[in-house]
A and B are shown apart, each in its own frame.
Chain A
Amino acid sequence: MTVTETGPPDAERGTPAPRPRSASPSLAFDRVSMVYPDGTAALDDVSFEVGPGEFTTVVGPSGCGKSTLLRIAAGLTKESSGKVTVGTDQLGFVFQDATLLPWRTVLGNAELLLELHGMNKADRRAKALEALRSVGLTGFERHHPKRLSGGMRMRVSIARSLTLDPSVFLFDEPFGALDEITRERLNEELLRLFVDKGFAGLFITHSIFEAVFLSTRVLVMSARPGRIVADIPVPFPYPRPDELRFDPRVAEIAGQISAALRGAH
């Protein structure tokens, strides 16, 4: 897998976070607000930047506009005011559900995006196989999604996005529907991919511990209309060991986030 142009140089792998910020952010929100046509205010004056190789997580109560924020970042929804800058044309987007085509096999699903981008069959097959290997699904290429567990479907979904070598990766609560054990394992695999590929990540979750474990930085949003009420750095180096979950310093940061969430109501 090639390192994407906006990714960090190899020498920086495994250095303590937060990583050095380059001049141009991978993703920037500048005073973005969103009011839906029916008058619902979803986002209120949101500004933040995600630098290359940064993993930023947004936590907030249900219905606070987290998903709206991500849809705006992807260009699926148009912001009402403010400015969104995306420093790449290769976005990865992982949805809440795996959103696989049920009539396609695992391999067919993994090939879909490159197919839509017009890549020839041999090349996209090679890339899809490589992406499936990187999420541990080698041997399941011929399976249809209905024969897979929820966790495996989500792996296919992530592999599908990986085929594009995205330099910015957006995650919309991808593990919210999974059981705790599967979620932990996928967290670990996602961290490994993050260290491997060096993309900039924007991750939505309502799990505080997931946020701390994954991120270089956690943004806390208020209830609707969503405002950013806290910006909390998570200063642990990558790769992060599994035991980090039980580190008292993690609990301390989780406590700060929890307090910020309570204060926001």
Chain B
Amino acid sequence: MTDIVVLDDTTEPTVVPGAGATERRPLRGRSVGRSTVAAVLPAVVALVAFLAVWQFASSVMMSPHRRFLLPPPGTVLRKGFFDSTTMREIWSSLLLTTKLSLFGLAVAILLGLAVGVLMFRFRWYERAAYPYLVALQAVPVLAISPLIGIIFGYSFWSKSIIVVIISFFPVPTTLLLGMKSVDRGLIDLFRLNGASWTTRLRKLHLPNALPSLFAGLRISSGLAVIGAIVGELFFQQGKPGLGQRIYDYSTNMKYPQLYTAIIFSSLLGVAIFSFFGWVGGRAVRSWHESAAENR
């Protein structure tokens, strides 16, 4: 009907939506450029400040005969980042640790999704499983590592189990929370129109859970890297991952190399964390408020 003039308080400057979108594009591009600088600059300043404090602590506060414990940034760069032998060791370890983290994380996510959906479907299952999820989460993983070693051997599988145990908890809990926080009217609407439980799950509860699930996945991804390093530190078997490198460098007093390995460990965590943040943002940014802020 052309006789209706839409005059509601929409954000569109004009009734023709296409025109509004094209008019705004250049403006948005400029503001993103400026806001990127605004977003990155504080982090860069903080890094420089951190390096300055490090340098100061190493060269002024440490006595010369103890300086090897905290080598200045320059030494770490020279003997670590710019040393081809060290970097070869670290790259190969990084690859192994990445594989371990991603494998364990994938298992944790698949298991977590299944457990989350089951808890959502069966109230008794939620009541049965939830206390043990919390218990699993609360268990100090190093305390049960020997047990895992005894049962599963000192292998890739044992390390993977550590990763799964550490990174599992946020997946089912954030999924469950998201699936449960569906507007009651929407549930009524689906019921009124004869939607089956699986249809409601697919078209209502799962999409509704995406924002909180992705928040959970980000937490899990950071934890997975921690789990991998802990697993490698404890099970000193097989090809050396970053965890073993950290242990070896520390026992051999190769401190610049140790710092390098630690920095790469955290970079791996940041990379996986950012990846999930990026995927999550892309998945929900068109409709969810939180996504725009997290970019």
Q: Please report A residues at the B interface, Cβ cutoff 8 Å.
A: 71, 74-76, 91, 93, 95-97, 99, 101-104, 112-113, 115-117, 133-137, 139-140, 142-152, 182, 189
Contacts and interface: CB of A to CB of B under 8 A. Distances in A.
B185 A95 contact: yes
Contact of A91 (B8, B15, B192, B287): B192
Contact of A97 (B18, B183, B191, B210): B183
Contacts of A103: 207-208, 210, 284, 286-288
Interface of B: 1, 4, 6, 8-12, 15-18, 183, 185-186, 188-195, 199, 203-204, 207-208, 210, 284, 286-289
A116 B10 contact: no
Contact of B287 (A102, A149, A189): A102
A141 to B, nearest CB: 9
A179 B267 CA distance: 52
B102 to A, nearest CB: 27
Contacts of B189: 93, 95, 99, 113
Given A117-B194, A147-B12, 5 more contacts: A99-B189, A101-B204, A103-B287, A103-B288, A151-B8
A116 B4 contact: no
A96 B185 contact: yes
A144 B286 contact: yes
Given A102-B288, A116-B193, A139 B16 contact: yes
Contacts of B192: 74-76, 91, 93
A182 to B, nearest CB: 6
A192 to B, nearest CB: 8
A254 to B, nearest CB: 27
A91 B189 CA distance: 11
A97 B189 CA distance: 11
A139 B287 contact: no
A136 B6 contact: yes
A246 B44 CA distance: 66
Nearest to B207: A103
A216 B189 CA distance: 27
Contacts of A93: 188-189, 192
Contacts of A151: 8
- 3 A-B pairs closest in CB distance: A136-B4, A149-B8, A99-B185
Nearest to B210: A103
